[in-house]
Structure 1
Amino acid sequence: MDQFEKLRPVGRLEKYSTARHQVGFYLNLAVAATYKLPKSFTLPVEDYVLRALASVIAQHPSLSAIPAADETQDPYFVRLPTIDLDKVVQFTQREHGIPKDAPLESGEISPDLDLEVLLQKEHNTPFVAPNPYWRLHVLVDKQDKHRFTAALILHHALGDGGSGKSFHTSFLRALQTQAASDVETPHSVTSPENPMLPNIEEIHPMPLSLWFLAKKIFQAKVYAPRDPALWTGSKIQPPTSTRVRLVSFSQGMVEQLRKVCRQERTTITALLQTVYARSLFKHIPERYSKLNCTGAFSTRRFLPDVIKEDSMGVFVADIEESYTRSIVAPADSTVFPWEEARRSRQTIQDTLDRKGADVGPNLLKFVNNFQEELCLSRVGQDRDKTFEVSNIGVVLSTSAPDQPSIQGMAFSQCASVMGNAIGVSVVTGGDGCLVLAISWQEDIVDDELIDASIQSSRDELRQLAGY
């Protein structure tokens, strides 16, 4: 990589992802959006996609960067001089067509089977230098030439789930300027010269209280007994082989769930955590009475002004929560435990109120060998987390009828070899529909358990929404 311009060192949080990718323990994340073009857009979809993409690359320098020396403890970013759009963009014809809009009285909408297949394939495909560490896979429909689905596949060292939202916001703005048909469609773009944004350690102190640090050191170095009642799937074992399921809920049902959450003084994210915990308890052996849950949230809200809400980079921290069977899913009660959902909401709020203090990424300063200590040394051990719920929120699309707009969206992640046994990634698109992407590692969690937990979650959410 000596022929490429050196940009800056890879930060510790970014290094966590370069190490995981390098040893094959976590490959990528994806954020997909379905776009609707107005009738005035008469060129093939391919032209509009490439034109808009060239504009997005010019706005976000991380899309021109790849990590170098990622097998070492001192990786750094280099800038690719050009991006060959024909190599990073793939167009695929849909087999099942774009799912039809659900009627307002329906609680669910048909799953996007073509997107599900695409995501599962992409989540099992690593990045290889010196190619860009992102891809755009576009699903087109011969029956509807004015709608397409674009899935951004992204290395986690270049961006987080919020970065995927930012990409699509920028892509939509770029599309809205592409109505003129006399603009030449690019197939290669020169990378922007502006520098990458700083990593989070450069702009945030990432503090650790003595109590938090002492607890973590004690658990890591002295004594951390494994709770035999904790269920976390099978032991940590590579290689990763990701499975993906998409579950979609209609705008009407989502609005009802939000209304109920407001009445019960909780949030959609806290509700989903509690519902999924209850669903797992219904289908795992009764000897397991505890589940550990994590979540991720964007730290952009309390970073300096150099980082905007729509910046692409890795600006996240974690939330930890646990659930016990006797409280969340007692055998003698069918009443939903709203108190648990409120407790979960308070845990999230307490973590946000710390503004980046006492969270997992702050401990990375004590790691000497990221590949060995965080990944390889854990093979054969029990994992300590059950499932993750990461909600990147709502993507608004307030376009005029004669402008391109975003409709449905999906956010998904590959399975994590040493992380949570199950991932639940959440986003709400411009159509108001909420989509869950459930991912898991083949042979670590049984497919039957995933199917059963999804069905139980679906049934309970419909009941809570009054459908």
Structure 2
Amino acid sequence: MAVSKKDEGRGSGIIRPFGNLECYEYHMLQLRFLGNTIVSCRYTLPAALLADADRHHGVVVARVEDAIARVVLEHAALRIDVVNADSKRPAWVGVERVDFAHHVRWEEGGGGGAEDSSEAKLREIIERRLNEPEANLAKRPGWRVLVLHGRGGSGPFLDIVFDYSHGLGDGTSGKIFHETLLRLLNTPPPTSAEPQSPLTNRVLTIPPTAAPLPPAVEKLAKFPVSAKFALSTAWKELRPPSFSPGTAAQAHWAPIRTTPYRTRFRSFDVSREDTARILAACRAHGTTLTGLLHALLLVCMAARVPAGSAAAFTGSTALDLRRHLAASAGLDPRRTMADYVSQTVHEFDAELVRRIRGVSDDGDPTAPARAEIMWSCAARVRREIQKRLDRGLKNDLVGLMRLVPDWRAQFRAEAGKPRVYSFVVSNLGVLDGGGGDAESWGIAHSVFAISAEVVGAAFQVSPISVKGGALCVSCSWQDCAVDAGLAGAVVADLELWLRFLGKP
């Protein structure tokens, strides 16, 4: 067991029961309907450590582990475990210690000093860790860090792979972890007059003064729900399979399969210069990168999925709710690791899909007529997202989650229905990696990877970029549920489109 619970047998260490969204995420993990979430960042070392990295290896290890320990002390989500795991509403329990022997590992990156080798190993590790259940279950680590030593053209670097249970936090939480870690790496080490490293023999003892676990999202704000929204959405989401009529947008091309569960993962980078041109084109067409990715996925899937299998498509966008949550004494949601996420839906009807498929492209997937439809769709998605944001927390799906008494039963029922969503875009935006000062730690690159969701979207796209750096676009899907050849073709088409749009 990776953590030591406070008086677990007597229950005096219980902090609070799971919130509604936490139950949703945890029970998906428990059923093996979801895997891990990963945010990985490539850290550049200060000049003083670059000069002789091998000689300073021990210093680097101590500095990084000390900073990770301080991240754990700042974020209560990293020092909790689960009790009553088999109940309908488990609870969070505090821990006394976190043993880094179970949570933090160090490995060599790609061999021979070749950056390509480091990239290949990183991709392999991310796919493997997306599928490992160890970070999901009670009495196991809820998070892990793997540090890979690498060497590129500008010298040594560290790939720090943070993978964690979605029950502990959403995608933004992984970004917050790295932002906090970078800040603490660049915080001067304590002087002799100040407390030394919180680690002793790689064990972190949690002081009683550590910050408390933040409340569940429904305890931080009201989620008003109109009667019309409640009735229509509850019936659509909660009705039994026998009462689920077919629609043209259902993803019959990617049937729900509960086994085998395995996430397949691919990613590609778009250079800083190309990304800048793509964003300028988005602004000129009244959209954003998220809107553009939805439109490109629609165009790519309309071209690749046979019309007989998909006459229309439904997509969704992950929405960070922190913008709607007010800060208070001791809690700033924008800097808090927690499950504060929702989604909004985009429907692309059969007439639109027929128009896309009807474009004569002469073998050119980026034909001007298709690009015109694509930009129109991208602008529409942007308007839909903005309308949803302007509505605040009213008529949000999180407000209806209290109607589900048992998420495991609900997920098993959903597994018997047709898949609703063909694709989802979860955009973490831009991470400020610093790096302007040669004497400081910096982040040069980041990867955001999400695991397949058995009853969720068939195809997942998760972009992230570092300020002033390349855009990384990750794609994931469930093996055996999505045809490997189709998924590979969609990834290739998506990359082709972005490179075309980024050309000078």
Structure 2 counterpart of 1:53, from 68, 88, 111: 68
Distance 2:321 2:249 in 1: 33
Residue matched to 2:212: 195
Structure 1 counterpart of 2:270, from 224, 241, 249: 249
Aligned partners of 2:250 and 2:418 also within 8 Å: no
Residue matched to 2:149: 140
Distance 1:354 1:98 in 2: 51
Give the 3 Å change call, closer, same or farther, for CA 211–129 of structure 1 in structure 2: closer
Match for 1:267: what amino acid?
A: T
Give the 3 Å change call, closer, same or farther, for CA 432–165 of structure 1 in structure 2: same
Give the 3 Å change call, closer, same or farther, for CA 85–3 of structure 1 in structure 2: farther
- Whether 1:393 aligns to 2:429 is yes
Residue matched to 2:342: 317
Q: Which runs of 4+ in 1 moved over 4 A?
A: 96-100, 142-145, 178-186
Q: Which of 207-216 and 230-239 deviates more? A: 230-239
Aligned partners of 1:57 and 1:192 also within 8 Å: no
Distance 1:290 1:97 in 2: 49
Q: Which of 43-52 and 438-447 deviates more? A: 43-52
Structure 2 counterpart of 1:205, from 211, 222, 231: 222
**1:174-193 matches, cutoff 5 A:** 174-177=184-187, 186=200, 187-193=202-208
- Offset at residue 441 of structure 1 (A): 0.8
Distance 2:220 2:323 in 1: 13
Aligned partners of 2:105 and 2:145 also within 8 Å: yes
Give the 3 Å change call, closer, same or farther, for CA 191–99 of structure 1 in structure 2: farther
**1:347-362 matches, cutoff 5 A:** 347-362=384-399
Distance 2:426 2:113 in 1: 25
Give the 3 Å change call, closer, same or farther, for CA 110–138 of structure 1 in structure 2: closer
Distance 2:406 2:426 in 1: 27
Aligned partners of 1:29 and 1:155 also within 8 Å: yes
Q: Which of 170-179 and 336-345 deviates more? A: 170-179
- Whether 1:171 aligns to 2:186 is no
* Structure 2 spans left out of the alignment, 5+ residues: 1-7, 362-366
Residue matched to 1:458: 495
How high is the sequence identity, in percent, across the aligned residues? Answer: 26
Distance 2:356 2:168 in 1: 37
SS in 2 for 1:309: helix
Q: If the length of structure 2 is used for normalisation, what is the TM-score?
A: 0.85
Residue matched to 2:41: 33
Give the 3 Å change call, closer, same or farther, for CA 329–137 of structure 1 in structure 2: farther
Residue matched to 1:104: none
Distance 2:474 2:220 in 1: 32
- Offset at residue 228 of structure 1 (A): 4.4
Distance 1:26 1:98 in 2: 35
Residue matched to 1:157: 167
Aligned partners of 1:207 and 1:356 also within 8 Å: yes
Residue matched to 1:266: 287
Residue matched to 1:235: 255
Q: Which of 13-22 and 304-313 deviates more? A: 304-313
Give the 3 Å change call, closer, same or farther, for CA 218–417 of structure 1 in structure 2: closer
Distance 1:86 1:178 in 2: 25
Distance 1:352 1:96 in 2: 47
Residue matched to 1:13: 21
Residue matched to 2:414: 378
**1:114-129 matches, cutoff 5 A:** 114-126=121-133, 127=135, 128-129=137-138
Superposed CA deviations along residues 257-312 of structure 1, whole A, max 9, x for unmatched, are 01111111110110011111111111111222211111111111110213331111
Distance 1:97 1:245 in 2: 24
- Offset at residue 40 of structure 1 (A): 1.2
Give the 3 Å change call, closer, same or farther, for CA 76–447 of structure 1 in structure 2: same
Distance 2:112 2:285 in 1: 39
Aligned partners of 2:109 and 2:118 also within 8 Å: no
**Alignment size in residue pairs:** 458
- Offset at residue 130 of structure 1 (A): 2.3
Q: If the length of structure 1 is used for normalisation, what is the TM-score?
A: 0.92
- Offset at residue 255 of structure 1 (A): 0.4
Aligned partners of 1:414 and 1:439 also within 8 Å: yes
* Structure 1 spans left out of the alignment, 5+ residues: 101-108
- Offset at residue 192 of structure 1 (A): 4.6
Between structures 1 and 2, the one with greater helix share: 2
Distance 1:327 1:268 in 2: 23
- Offset at residue 231 of structure 1 (A): 3.0
Match for 2:384: what amino acid?
A: T
Distance 2:357 2:221 in 1: 40
